[in-house]
Amino acid sequence: MIAIVDYEAGNLTSVARAVAHIGYRSAVTQNIDEIQNADRIIFPGVGAAGAAMESLKRLGLYHALARAFADGKPILGICLGTQVIMGFSEEDQTPCLGLIPGTVRAFKKICDSDGSRLKIPHMGWNSIQVRSAHPVLADVRDTDEFYFVHGYYPDPDVDRHILALTEYGIPFASVIGERNLIATQFHPEKSGRPGLKILENFCTWKPC
Amino acid sequence: MLSKRIIPCLDVREGKTTKGVRFEDNVDIGDPVEMARFYYEGGADELVFYDITASHEKRGIMIDVVRRVAETIFIPFSVGGGIGSVEDMRQALLAGAEKVSVNSAAVRDPRIISQGARIFGNQCIVLGMDAKKVEKTRKTPSGYEIVIDGGRVYTGLDALQWAQKAQELGAGEICLNSIDADGTQDGYELQLTEMISTRVDIPVIASGGAGVPAHLLQALTQGKADAVLIASMVHLGTYSIAEIKSFLSAGGVKVRSSW
């Protein structure tokens, strides 16, 4: 059973539908016992960091996630979930979970290589450049693209936590990870075939 | 680098796709779920569904369509038409839409944009706007006026000012339709597209007038649009998404070429 953590940060049904589509059972839940007993955890979310951290504390999920990480349970962060596992977010100046040290930064007014202004949020399809081989990213091809929608991006302190980079005016960490935790800034559940493949790989991943 | 998005738009009335749709393959003509699957597998980057059901009682049918589409395709899609309240937004989003688009209702009461953005996040709220070329006056300095209710009602709102206001209120994206170009297949309204796209910070989808792939290329380069909405040119089977994307790619536009 896969627990999809519901901390009231957006609509999680699309993640549940994608997991069902690739043939795995999941439950969208805020129940701490259910999260602790799950084989794997998906930690998604859209919205703002401040409200997300408040909900995590109020629901008592803050410690449940830290413990699952320490216990070696496979965890997949998605979008806001990926930002909240970092140490600190510039969005609402929010101290976060700190499972991966680093800061979540706002895209500043940036320009493309041809000088045209880039829109914020970064919304749409972009490629990722895998820097560090990882079983969950094993099937990503150079031409694959993934669906992003975000105005902030993770900036890990430690270089080896950056598993893939994406270019949007600047290169930023689009996949980060450490031990049993992997987290994507994009939405694998909305990224067609290559996204579903990442979800599938996560569902069979055995972190060592 | 971010790809430009190609977005087929489906008009749905009482659960069936309408408006001159002709498919040659084994697609159940008129079933929006099967058409969604066809475009998903064919390389569409996103889909838009407009509910043009006239009677309010039959609106529930659309929510069922949204739910079935969400179980079938794994790319973002938005729902518009008949979204008049935060509750309408909630139903469409819970059924599985990634975004909702508001048009006339936002003109009547712009608070629907800010309320929707606060509850569901800016990225969920698309402002649909229909603009018509008018004389430049003090009221419409951009030379384009917002019309609502399918182009029948002039609002006195300046198109550029309305776009900028919607962004301030929290819209995450603008779907910009030219009433003059809509349905002509003569090309997008490039002047309008370029003006709005370069004067707001949020992405702009160009809509209305696409007939051949060269029109898309113009909207994405000269018009500086972030995405293009297409209908007849793919619904009639004249072009496939793949053909359109190869054309754009050859023209120097970055598109998603693998799916």
pLDDT (0 to 100) of residue B23:
52
Listed in sequence order, the residues at least 6 apart from B199 whose beta carbon sits closer than 8 Å to its beta carbon are B160, B163, B164
Percent of chain A with pLDDT over 90: 86
CB contact under 8 A, B40 and A11: no
**Into which CATH architecture does domain A2-204 fall?**
3-Layer(aba) Sandwich (3.40)
pLDDT in tens, chain B (259 residues): 899 999 999 999 888 887 645 555 545 557 899 999 999 999 999 999 999 876 777 778 899 999 999 999 999 999 999 899 999 999 999 999 999 999 999 999 999 999 999 888 899 999 999 999 999 999 999 999 999 987 889 999 999 999 999 999 999 999 999 999 998 899 999 999 999 999 999 999 999 999 999 999 999 999 999 999 999 899 888 999 999 999 999 999 999 999 9
- Token pair 């430049």 is found at B136
Mean pLDDT, residues A157-184: 97
CA distance to A32, A53, A153, B211, per residue, from A96 (Å): 19, 7, 14, 49
**Exposure on the CB side of residue A26, measured as CA atoms within 13 A:** 28
For residue A191, what is the nearest residue in chain B, using CA coordinates?
A: B75
Tokens for B226? 């972030």
Task: Please state the φ and ψ torsions of residue B243, each to the nearest 5 degrees.
Answer: -60, -45
Task: Please state the φ and ψ torsions of residue B87, each to the nearest 5 degrees.
Answer: -65, -40
- Residues B51/B59, Cβ–Cβ less than 8 Å: yes
Chain B residues inside the 8 Å CB shell of A148 = 2
A96 as an active site residue: the answer is no
Listed in sequence order, the residues at least 6 apart from A32 whose beta carbon sits closer than 8 Å to its beta carbon are A60, A61, A64
In the CATH hierarchy, which fold is given to the domain comprising B5-250?
Answer: TIM Barrel (3.20.20)
- Token pair 């450490």 is found at A178
Predicted confidence (pLDDT) per residue in A20-64, tens digit: 999 999 999 999 999 999 999 999 988 889 989 999 999 999 999
For residue A112, what is the nearest residue in chain B, using CA coordinates?
A: B1
Q: Please state whether B3 falls in left (phi above 0), alpha (psi between -120 and 50) or beta.
A: beta
CB contact under 8 A, B70 and A18: no
Instruction: Examine the pLDDT at A8 and tell me if it is beyond 90.
Output: no
CA distance to A48, B78, B81, B86, per residue, from B51 (Å): 30, 11, 5, 16
**Exposure on the CB side of residue A205, measured as CA atoms within 13 A:** 28
With CA atoms as reference, report the closest residue to B246 among B213, B223, B208, B211: B213
Listed in sequence order, the residues at least 6 apart from B201 whose beta carbon sits closer than 8 Å to its beta carbon are A117, A119, A120, B167
Confidence class for position A110, pLDDT limits 50, 70, 90: confident
pLDDT (0 to 100) of residue B19:
62
B11 as an active site residue: the answer is yes
Give chain B's length: 259
CB contact under 8 A, A124 and B201: no
| Residue B163 to residue A175: CA distance in whole angstroms | 34
pLDDT (0 to 100) of residue A47:
82
Tokens for B214? 């060269």
Of B71, B74, B123, the CB nearest to A121: B123
| Residue B129 to residue B106: CA distance in whole angstroms | 9
**Exposure on the CB side of residue A77, measured as CA atoms within 13 A:** 27
A34 as an active site residue: the answer is no
Judged by a CB distance cut-off of 8 A, whether residue B123 touches chain A is yes
| Residue A118 to residue A182: CA distance in whole angstroms | 28
CA distance to A47, B127, B194, per residue, from B9 (Å): 27, 15, 21
For residue A80, what is the nearest residue in chain B, using CA coordinates?
A: B121
Of A17, A47, A124, the CB nearest to B3: A124
pTM: 0.94
Identify the three-state secondary structure at position B82: coil
Residue ranges of chain A whose CB lies within 8 Å of a chain B CB: 10-11, 13-14, 17-18, 21, 46-48, 112-113, 116-127, 141, 143-145, 147-149, 167-168, 189-196
Of B1, B45, B93, the CB nearest to A11: B93
Q: Is the ipTM of this complex over 0.90?
A: yes
